[in-house]
Structure 1
Amino acid sequence: MRRRLVALFVALVAAGVLLTGCDSVAPAFACKVDPTTPDLIKDREAAGIADCTPADWSVGDGAAAQLPDVALDCLGGAKGAALSDIHGPAVINFWASNCAPCRKEMPALQKFYEKYGDQISVIGVNYLDTYPGAAIDLARMTGVTYPSLADGCGDLQDTGAALGAGLPFFLFVHEDGTISKPHAGGITSPAEVVALVNENLGLDLTAARAAS
């Protein structure tokens, strides 16, 4: 009987880990995550991932995002920032290293960033991810070079901000700083991101590109 109870407990714990893999549920344990260690900074730099530099998060004269002014660490960076430091127009993508749809989505978002990053800011948020080393590895393997803030312990959940029900998801920042409703991710091509920007922000990036 004792062996059966132990086996049942282990199975329940394992199932819980799997179920929360892509759900926006804060870790149940006392959360201590440091994505800013010297080794992680070296890993980010070696992968060619941009540092979190709010001065670069405005491609025009857009207003600051109407998002929580909560200090977040930078994934593999010494200095963090807040989502309110982002200026519109911008695409914010929430992801984690244990999220299978994120793995498929990130290469497409990177291609979007390479083509349209001069028209609209692209920032990631490594969300509810207690393994920052694995997160940087995933970004490196998928070719991602846009920066990511880190909220491993779910500080944003305590702010009342409208967040997606599961990962990955997007927030879109209008030029006036207002925020779209959370939009489920899972895109597989840069054209899908272009369409989402058009739908949520009313921006036709392809027309602007052709005119430039």
Structure 2
Amino acid sequence: MVRVLGGRARAATVTALLVAALAGCGSESPAGGGQAGAPLGDAKSSSEVDVATSEMAAAKKASKVEECVAGSASDGGLPSIELPCLGGGESVDLASFEGPMVINLFQGFCAPCKEEMPALQSFHETYGDEVPVIGIDVMDTVPGVALEEAISRGVTFPMYADPGGELQGGPLTARAVPTTYVLSSSGEVKLLQMGGMTSEDQVKELVEQKLGITL
């Protein structure tokens, strides 16, 4: 199951369309934990969305979420877009990352995103030294919910934020959430899965198929 975000066009147009399409789908109640406020609404620029409030920073510090650390590449294949670290930390230029890598695009109010987090975390714990996992909270006006949901499900891999939809129109376009991509060692970006994954084995099998490796 996926939460549809919309089609692909120019970055600004896509972002506006996606947010509008999502407005009717983002009414999930934050009951059971979550930052108060509308999860989705009017499109906002990245500067208008605080992805590292004091509350978020405190929650991240008390968790086992890993710090955001830039890679060593000058152009590893991902777009040269600097994204802030979800919950505070070092902003990172995605182009500094090298494959193999798993990149998961998610939102805090997306049910299938939350359901697949344990599978991604389990893969990260088992194979993260060979194929690291990162998360990107995309086009989310309430990133505190995304961080809280991830922490509550035991996520420890680094997470970034793209509240302004900077990735839209590029190789990491979010046509739906969750969407997961892989970055190969040669710098090629491939779609891994649209929709939630249910187990570590499923993630492993898909990664092996897409990257042509054996874990």
Indicate the structure with greater helix content: 1
Shift in Å at residue 30 of structure 1? 3.4
Partner in structure 1 of residue 80 of structure 2: 69
- Say whether the 8 Å CA contact 1:27–1:153 is kept in structure 2: no
Counterparts of 1:114-125 in structure 2, within 5 Å, are 114-125=125-136
- Say whether the 8 Å CA contact 2:57–2:87 is kept in structure 1: yes
Counterparts of 1:112-191 in structure 2, within 5 Å, are 112-157=123-168, 160-181=170-191, 183-191=193-201
- Say whether the 8 Å CA contact 2:26–2:109 is kept in structure 1: no
Partner in structure 2 of residue 98 of structure 1: 109
Amino acid at match of 1:81: V
Amino acid at match of 1:18: G
Secondary structure in 1 matching 2:146: helix
CA distance in 1, matches of 2:101, 2:209: 13
CA distance in 2, matches of 1:164, 1:79: 23
Aligned-residue RMSD, C-alpha: 2.5
TM-score by length of 1: 0.77
Shift in Å at residue 200 of structure 1? 0.8
| 2:120 pairs with 1:109 | yes
- Say whether the 8 Å CA contact 1:107–1:143 is kept in structure 2: yes
Aligned length: 183
CA distance in 1, matches of 2:117, 2:162: 18
CA distance in 1, matches of 2:145, 2:137: 11
Partner in structure 2 of residue 8 of structure 1: none
Partner in structure 2 of residue 45 of structure 1: 61
Partner in structure 2 of residue 29 of structure 1: 43
Q: 1:21-67: per-residue Cα shift (whole Å, max 9, x none)? A: 79xxx964333111123332221121211111124xx8xxx884312
CA distance in 1, matches of 2:172, 2:59: 32
Partner in structure 2 of residue 9 of structure 1: none
Amino acid at match of 1:129: D
- Say whether the 8 Å CA contact 2:192–2:210 is kept in structure 1: no
- Say whether the 8 Å CA contact 1:63–1:177 is kept in structure 2: no
CA distance in 2, matches of 1:78, 1:168: 24
- Say whether the 8 Å CA contact 2:192–2:207 is kept in structure 1: no
Secondary structure in 1 matching 2:176: coil
Secondary structure in 2 matching 1:50: coil
- Say whether the 8 Å CA contact 1:72–1:81 is kept in structure 2: yes
Shift in Å at residue 122 of structure 1? 0.7
